[in-house]
Chains A and B, each alone.
Chain A
Amino acid sequence: MKSLLPIAIVLVLATAYGLWYQRSRGKVVVKSDKGLITQEMIGALLGSRVTLVQFSSAFCSPCRATRMLLEDVTAEMSDVAYVEIDAEANLELVRTLDTGTLLLFTYVVSSY
């Protein structure tokens, strides 16, 4: 049947992309640039030990759950700060840090 060919093509391509997406998310990228993220850039105080900087957007479904988790985890740690940044309102910063097309991108900034 000729008409089933587009369905097959779409499902194969989508599955390939979906598998790639699942594998690539949550990947840790280590950058050692000192002063990559400063207090002025994020408009908030950095934690004395570690700062978690999360980039979110209104149309990002995992962002909300991640925010709740990170807020919860960091609430009891006085030396760890959590900062959420609206990617849409800070496109300049998104481009500077090159977060790619990822909607949800969390930076872990060490103060040491």
Chain B
Amino acid sequence: MAEASEGAIRGWQHPSGTGVRQHLLVIPSVICAAQAALTIVDGDPSAVAIEHQHGCSQLGGDAHLTEQVLTGLGIHPNVAGTLVVSLGCETVQGVALHRSIVGRGQRAEFVGIQQAGGTGAAVRAGREALQRLRSGAASDAQVALDWADLCVGVEGAWLGVPPGQARVFLEVIGELCRAGATVIQAASTAGVDANDWWEQATRQVPGPRVRPGTLSYATRPDGAGVYLMEAPPSRIAQKTGLAAAGAHVILSPLASGLPAGCPVAPVAHVGIAPYARPFAEDVDVMLDENPQEHAAAAVLDAIVAACRTATPLEAIGVFEMAIHRIGPTM
């Protein structure tokens, strides 16, 4: 914990908050604008475009949830500026998305493909907009961050691992909490009583900071503390929900599936042995079958390292994106 409290995590003061990355983010409001968004950032290492499959022909509450997730990513504290790329006729209207991102204090720009006159014109306008965002971001002050400035998102996969390994995650959450960090624990409520489990698990965590009840998917907590967030079983959709809730960094226990990144928040993967052994090079830290005493400290170090420098996944440019859906596409 020493490193963080000595202010060893470098950050930036963005209009949207203090972050550990200085991303310029390009968000298509609808899949129809995804290729234009990708083309805008092509060859620009400072900008990242998210690719998602939604934004149109969605019903009421489901369309709102997609808009909420995209807004959350757009105002993420690791994002120095956001460009919304819209088609024009979609259900999740790009203009409204942009307005909602600007309304929450973020530095943001808008390009509409139909308004600009096609893909080529939108790409040109988008690159100019990115340049403006970059100029603005250049004046964002560098700051030293402490744990109290950080929100750590934790995926739910460690719920199912053997007790010896699970205990390490509880220790990590306890340590983060004592150091003043905000922790959001994602948990799939399908089939288990997550509240009950959470209550038992967090008895070890200093009492007053554990927030009662659950956060809805992709919702920002209002103040420091430890929170439980409702999430679907999909690990990628959990990452997206945690990031949209404002997590600066995501702790991902890898006990099944593949390592997966997130467009805005670095992901520190903890490889759960024996499953994750083939991924030893891709994860940030391995957790043996019988974790040793310093295991929790090693995981905390991995979180700090993910905040400080590019993770193995960021280095090879692998990230995924999935938005939780609550209704069918029409």
Our verdict on whether A and B bind, yes or no, reads no
List the interface of chain B (C-beta within 8 A of A).
Answer: none
